[in-house]
Amino acid sequence: MSLTLSEFNDLSQEDATAQLLTCCTSTSWAQTLASARPFADIDAMLVANDDAWNKAQTSEANLIEAFDGHPQIGNVDSLKEKYRNTQDSAAHEQSGANDAEDQVLEALAQGNQDYLDKFGFIFIVFATGKSAQQMLDLLLARLPNDRETELANAAAEQNKITRLRIQKLLGAA
């Protein structure tokens, strides 16, 4: 559902929070951003988003809540299904993996499991415009990091994803 900024500003706190939770599943972040209304324009909302996200990420629980809102990339069959179905949806965030070779998808599935096993949360990356190989390369580059570094990396990627989803929610992307 796309809203105008004016419509979003006019929502109740509860409804605005619910709409924001479709962009990022951190309850703390959504409530903080909904409370910052009204916004003069999308840029003001994105600045308020960054502020709300900076507050939310002071708690690891808020970060994990946001990360848990993403589907985990599972086995190779689900990866093939996920990426090849994006051909029907130009707006899909991971469309760069449409034609990924099976080897890359298998390595991506294994890498995602290795990442989850090591850090306790799924690999978060702003996938828009990236091929499966590029996502795999990023995953493999981040896998040697320590957990604190990866929480920060994932938080930064989460905010990029959230900003795009806010723009889509308000028909600005």
Query: Does the CA dihedral 10-12-18-21 come out positive or negative?
Result: positive
> Is 92 marked active-site?
no
Indicate the helix (H) or strand (E) that contains 135: helix 132-142
Catalytic entry in 11, 22, 36, 70: 70
CA distances from 13 to 16, 20, 97, 145 (A): 5, 10, 37, 39
Q: What angle do CA 89, 116, 131 make, to 5 degrees?
A: 35
Q: Which two tokens stand for residue 63?
A: 């970060």
Q: Which two tokens stand for residue 1?
A: 């559902």
Tally of CA atoms within 13 A in the half-sphere of 22 that contains its CB: 13
Q: Are the C-beta atoms of 128 and 157 separated by less than 8 Å?
A: no
Determine the Cα–Cα distance for residues 73 and 11; give it in Å rounded to an integer.
34
Active-site residue numbers? 70
